[in-house]
Amino acid sequence: MGESRDSRADRRDAASPFHSTTVERRPRRLSSLISQALSFDDGDAYAAGEVGFMARALVQATMPHSDPKTNEFVRHNGHYSLSILAPKGVGLPYGRYPRLVLAYLNTEAVKRKTRHIELDHHFSHFCAALGIPPTTGPRGSLPHLREQMQRLFASTFQCVFHDEGKGRHAGDGFLIAEKRALWWDPRRETGDASWGSHVVLSERFFREASEAPVPLDLRVLRALRSPFEIDIYVWLIWRFFRLRKPVTIPWDSLQLQFGCGYKNPRHFKRRFLKYLKSVISYYPEVRLTNTEAGLLLKPSPPHVASRSSPMKL
């Protein structure tokens, strides 16, 4: 997860307290992100038809950022935990692509109010809908996206709430889709339109996806290049939508939720703050501060206005 780079960074002096309105230097990538974010000011997500949704269960704890090289994965958020189990011959979903696919499926489920989700007749067209430039070859986006979708649909998700002190335990398991038909050939740009691809979401995931989803701006989701950035962005939307008074999230809690693979807490903190700077270029209204105890969140305007959103947090 890039810890060797963070190790070199650790030898430098600690950065000054981070705040969303203060950026001391603007590297080329960050300047590009800011320019891109400013271009969104022409209209909000609703006006642009770019409102998407993500299930809360997959926001409170998330999938791996990189290949865990195992078939079982767990992330924690307080008393809540998300575990993912995949067949050994398939592997766990990881990275940016399955997150984009989940947002697509969740958004379609909310807007169309159905478990039957039609995908595109051509793989490259579906790729473009996710904001992924379609490329072929062994390292191309098309075969990688198809592999990640196969991993995603083969995996079992288990959400557990466990509070030992109060003697409370509850759990719920589900598949993302109970049926799927993926007929795309990543080597071809064309195909028989009568063999369109589709998935049937599981009843449990459909309920989670449609009853109280987290609204997000799909333009931002497609622009963010790192799965870590995507997780931070969606988490911030969820936290600030329901935040009524300041709260400090301890760094060790954030590490369990976002990056349990980091052995050194300082490595995680540096990487988190780096990606946070990129994320808030799209959400400049957010009010937060880096403290020794953790990340201090203060009530802020929601990034996506609620309007007729079904979100009920």
Mean per-residue pLDDT, 114-123: 86
pLDDT for the residue 1 = 45
Contacts of 296 (CB under 8 A, 6+ apart): 246, 247, 248, 288, 289, 290
Contacts of 115 (CB under 8 A, 6+ apart): 109, 200, 201, 202, 203, 206
- Residue 45 burial by CB count (10 A; 0-12/13-18/19+): exposed, middle or buried? buried
pLDDT for the residue 187 = 52
Mean per-residue pLDDT, 240-262: 88
pLDDT for the residue 300 = 94
Q: Please give the model's pTM, rounded to 2 decimal places.
A: 0.80
pLDDT for the residue 278 = 93
Spatial distance between the Cα atoms of 109 and 285, rounded to a whole number of angstroms: 29
Confidence band of 22 (pLDDT split at 50, 70, 90): very low
Extended beta strands in 101-176, E state: 116-118, 156-163, 168-175
Mean per-residue pLDDT, 88-109: 96
Spatial distance between the Cα atoms of 184 and 186, rounded to a whole number of angstroms: 6
Spatial distance between the Cα atoms of 168 and 269, rounded to a whole number of angstroms: 31
Q: Which residue has the higher pLDDT, 196 or 272?
A: 272
Spatial distance between the Cα atoms of 301 and 71, rounded to a whole number of angstroms: 39
